[in-house]
Amino acid sequence: MKTMTVGKWLGLTGLLLGLLVAVPSVAALQAISQQEVIIGANEVIEDDLIVGADTFVLDGTVKGDLIVGGTNITINGTVEGDLMAAGQSIVVNGRVLDDIRIAGATLTLGSAAQVTDDMIALGYSFETKPESKVGGNLYFAGAQSRLAGNVAHDVWVEAGGLELLGSVGGNVDATVDTAEAAPTFPPFAFTPNMPDVPTFTWGLTIGEQANIAGDLNYHSPTTFNVPMGTVIGNVTNEIVAASSDTPATVAPAVLSGAWFLAELQRFAGLLVVGLLLVWLLPACMAAVNEPLRQRTWGSLGWGIVTIPAFGLLILVTLFVMIALAALLGALTLGGLSATVVFIGLLLLFAFTLFFVLSVVYFAKIMVSMVVGEWLLARFYPTAAQNRFWPLVTGLVLFVVLTAVPYLGGWVSFIATLFGLGALVISGAMWLQQRQPTPKMATPPAKPAIQPA
C-alpha cells in the first residue's frame, strides 16, 4: 500500500484525540480494576464507568459513558453514553446511545448492535455483521474491513482491504491497496490467547446487494469492479502511485548503503539508551516492563489515552501558570509572578522532554525487551535470563519490522502505544505503593472470664 501521508497520520491522531472527549467527566466515574468483570443483565450502573480487566462483559446497563481497557471486551447490554474501549478483541452486540471509539486487534459489530451516533474504529480487523446499525458516520483505519451492516451517513476507510456488502446512507471515501498486498502469514500468530482473526479480501470489493446512496470515491493503485446499481451517486477512482513496498521499488532501497546505514544508526541509538537503562536502572526497568507481561492489552488502552492526556496536561499547566502569574501581578507581587512563570516553563520543558524521550526511546525499548525475552524463553531459555540479550534480540526484531514500508509505521506506532501505557500503569502502581498504609485499630482485649 502507498506510504501513509502526513495528512493521513494527522487524521489518525485526530481519531485518538477523539478518545479524550469524555475525559473531563472522569471525576464522576466509578472505577473497577480486576482480572474479570461481568455486569449482569439486571445490573444498572447509574453513572459513568471505567474498567480495567482481562475479560469484561456488559450484559446490563451503564447510564453514562463506558471506558474499558482489557483483553477481551464484550458489550451485550446498553451504554447510554459513549463507549470507549481498547483491547485485543472487542465485540459489540448491544446498544450504544451515543458515539463509539474503539481500538484493538479484532473489532466486531454483531447483528444486534445498534449505535445511535458516530463510530470510530482503529485496529487490524473490523467487521460489521448484517442487520447491525450505525446511526451516524463510520470511520475506520487499519488493515482489513468487512462492512455488511447499515450505516446511516458517510463512511471513511483507510485500510488494505474493504469489503462493502451492506448499505450506506451517504458517501463512501476509501483508500485501499491491491489484493496482492495482503499478508501471506497469519497475523498475531505469536500473540498468546489471541482469538481467530478473520481473513477479508484486500483491495475494494462491492457486493451485489450493497447500496450506497451517495458517491463512491476510492484511492488505489488500480481500479476495481463496481456492480451496476449499487452506487446511486458518482463513482470516482483516484489512481495513486505504486507503493514503495513493491519488489521493483523496495530492492534498490534495501540494497542501498544509505538506507542500511540509517537503519543501523537507528538500532545503535535504541541499543545504547536501552543498555544504559538496563545497566543503571535494572529494578526500574523490571517494574515498568511488568504491565506489558501481566496487563498487555490494558497497556494498549492506557497508551491510547496517554497521547491526548499529555496535550491536556500541557494545556492545564499553561493555564495554571498564566492564571497564577496574572493573579500575583495584580497583587503587585511581580517577583513572585516571574518565579511562577519560570517554574511553569521548567515544568513544561520537563513534561515535554520526558514525553518525547518516552515516545522516541523508552516505549520502544520496553516493548522490544519484553518481546525479546518472550522469544528467547521459547528457543534459548538460558539467554532469556540474561539482562541484556532480551534487549538486543527484541531491538533487532523491532528495527527489522519497522523498516518494512507501510507495515513498519504501524508496528512502531502500536509498540509506542503499548510502551506508553505500561509506563502509565507502572507509575500509578508506584504512586499507590507510596501511599501510607492505614494503621489498623487494635481491638480492646476481652475481659477474662472469672470462674464461677
DSSP labels for 136-155? S-EEEEEEEEEE-SEESS-E
Alpha helices in 201-333 (DSSP H): 247-255, 257-280, 282-294, 296-330
The values of phi and psi at residue 81, to 5°, are -110, -140
Pair 387, 282: CB distance under 8 Å: yes
pLDDT of residue 13: 42
Model pLDDT, residue 5: 44
User: What's the rounded Cα separation, in Å, for the pair 281 and 276?
Assistant: 8
Q: Give the pLDDT score at 339.
A: 76
- Cα 31 to Cα 24, 312, 437: the distances in Å are 15, 21, 21
Count the Cβ atoms, other than its own, within 10 Å of residue 405: 17
Closest by Cα among 266, 181, 258, 197 to 2: 181
Distance CA 372, CA 365 (A): 10
The C-alpha torsion from 322 through 325 and 328 to 334, rounded to 10°, is -150
C-alpha cell at 366: 520496553
Residue 423 has, within 13 A of its CA and on its CB side, a CA count of 23
What pLDDT, in 10s, does the model give residues 143-159?
899 999 999 999 999 98
According to DSSP, the residues that pair with 120 across neighbouring strands are 101, 139
Query: What radius of gyration do the chain's Cα atoms show?
Result: 25
Average pLDDT over residues 123-141: 93
% residues pLDDT > 90 (the chain): 30
Amino acid at 348: L
Cα 130 to Cα 109: distance, rounded to the nearest angstrom: 9
Q: Which pLDDT band holds residue 187 (cuts at 50, 70, 90)?
A: low
Question: Is pLDDT of 251 > 70?
Answer: no
Q: Report pLDDT for 382.
A: 82
Would the pLDDT of 17 be above 60? no
Does position 445 have pLDDT exceeding 60, yes or no? Answer: no
- pLDDT tens by residue, 369-393: 988 888 888 888 887 788 788 888 8
- Which residues of 110-210 form beta strands (DSSP E)? 114-115, 119-128, 133-134, 138-147, 150-151, 155-158, 161-164, 167-168, 172-175, 203-206
Q: pLDDT value at position 404? A: 74
Cell of 110: 454483531
pTM score, two decimals? 0.56
Res. 29: pLDDT tops 70: no
Find the mean pLDDT for residues 309-317. 82
Is the predicted pLDDT of residue 8 greater than 50, yes or no? no
Three-state secondary-structure class, residue 187 = coil
Report the DSSP beta bridge partners of residue 425: none
Mean pLDDT score, 168-183 = 89
